[in-house]
């Protein structure tokens, strides 16, 4: 790609508050994936050591789970979400009640206030975590929901993996995947049309550092590992994505699905707006990322007891958290010079 301008680059150890990484997510709930972590702004979960950034999941305070308790982030004004259920969680020990606060804590940070790009390149050099049911991710979201709520305005997953070892049925820390999320509503997310995996050769992505990259223009988008020649996902923007998605005329409720992309005249829509970078390590979840009844998974996604079952099984998974942190040595973001080159 010609015509690149370096937007931000950080070794991530020069300062605890390096300008490329500016925001901590602090909530009791993360997205709609049903994950089991409380994202905190604590040095316990996000810190810099020896020039590297660490995002490290830890166990929740057992006293908050074994007794009736409420975590209310609205009370002290620290919640970064505007949704009440994201900010308040409770443990109810009444017989027959399975409600508990998030059983783990972790970190999620982003560049929304520090660095955003519309077309360009992103590289993150990192060592992935090792431990059962850990879910590291390097991904991007739009700065503004220009075309509507998720996934109408798009999502770019540069890297996702699992901390389980290579014997895990779906692929553990020896596998990374890249995906795009795009569609008129969550039920019609066409991610499966743009989802590719890459296996590490004779090693794992937890054994050492790798560079996870994205190159993105008006005409194409691809992700890669260590070299632009080792591509993971490659997508050409050579037809309108609405046409490529082959979406139904209406959703399951009979509501007409409106094409809000093709009116731009750009085949890359919704991937034609400014995006920011997110780094996080999730724990567990109930959206199928960890499939039921495989490799000793100690909870069922559909169960009301999922979080509690996970917590009660910690003797089976916590000993595997040998290196649970996502360790990042460098982040670089390049902006395509004017965002309108003929490539």
pLDDT band at residue 338, thresholds of 50, 70 and 90?
Answer: low
Pick 139 or 83 by higher pLDDT: 139
Residues 6+ apart with CB under 8 A from 74: 84, 87, 88
How far apart (Å, rounded) are the C-alpha atoms in residues 82 and 223?
32
> For 313, which DSSP code?
T
Judged by DSSP in three states, 342 sits in: coil
Assign 90 a pLDDT band (cuts: 50, 70, 90).
Answer: confident
Task: Tell me the per-residue pLDDT of 101-128, one tens digit each, with 9 for 90 and over.
Answer: 999 999 999 999 999 999 999 999 999 9
Instruction: Identify whether the C-beta of residue 30 lies closer than 8 Å to the C-beta of residue 39.
Output: yes
Task: Give yes or no for residue 132 having a pLDDT over 70.
Answer: yes
Q: Which residue has the higher pLDDT, 269 or 28?
A: 269
- What is the model's pLDDT at position 8? 58
Residue 313 has pLDDT above 60, yes or no: yes
Residue 52 token pair: 């590297």
| Across 54-63, 84-93, 171-180, 251-260, least confident range | 84-93
Higher pLDDT, 45 or 78: 45
Q: Which of 245, 326, 280, 324 is nearest to 141 (CA)?
A: 280
Chain position carrying tokens 């301008």: 5
* Terminal C-alpha separation, the chain: 7
């Amino acid at each position: 790609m010609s015509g690149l301008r370096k937007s931000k680059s950080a070794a991530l150890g020069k300062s605890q508050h390096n300008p490329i990484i500016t925001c901590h997510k602090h909530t009791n709930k993360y997205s709609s994936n049903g994950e089991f972590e409380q994202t905190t702004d604590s040095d316990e979960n996000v810190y810099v050591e020896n020039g590297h950034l660490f995002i490290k999941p830890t166990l929740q305070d057992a006293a908050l789970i074994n007794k009736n308790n409420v975590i209310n982030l609205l009370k002290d004004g620290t919640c970064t979400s505007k949704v009440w259920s994201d900010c308040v969680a409770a443990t109810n020990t009444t017989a027959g009640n399975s409600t508990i606060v998030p059983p783990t804590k972790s970190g999620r940070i982003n560049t929304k206030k520090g660095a955003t790009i519309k077309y360009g390149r992103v590289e993150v050099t990192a060592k992935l975590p090792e431990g059962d049911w850990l879910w590291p991710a390097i991904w991007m979201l739009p700065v503004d929901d220009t075309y509507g709520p998720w996934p109408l305005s798009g999502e770019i997953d540069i890297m996702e993996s699992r901390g389980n070892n290579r014997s895990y049925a779906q692929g553990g820390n020896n596998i990374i995947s890249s995906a795009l999320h795009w569609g008129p509503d969550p039920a019609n997310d066409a991610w499966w049309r743009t989802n590719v995996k890459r296996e590490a050769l004779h090693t794992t992505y937890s054994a050492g550092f790798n560079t996870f990259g994205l190159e993105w223009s008006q005409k194409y988008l691809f992700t890669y590992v260590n070299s632009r020649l080792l591509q993971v996902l490659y997508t050409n923007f050579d037809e309108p994505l609405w046409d490529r998605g082959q979406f139904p005329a209406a959703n399951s409720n009979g509501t007409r699905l409106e094409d809000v992309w093709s009116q731009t005249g750009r085949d890359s829509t919704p991937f034609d707006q400014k995006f920011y970078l997110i780094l996080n390590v999730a724990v567990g979840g109930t959206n199928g990322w960890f499939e039921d009844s495989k490799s000793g998974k100690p909870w069922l996604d559909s169960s009301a007891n999922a979080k509690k079952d996970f917590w009660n099984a910690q003797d089976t998974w916590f000993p595997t958290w040998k290196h649970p942190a996502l360790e990042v040595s460098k982040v670089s973001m390049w902006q395509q010079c004017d965002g309108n080159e003929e490539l």
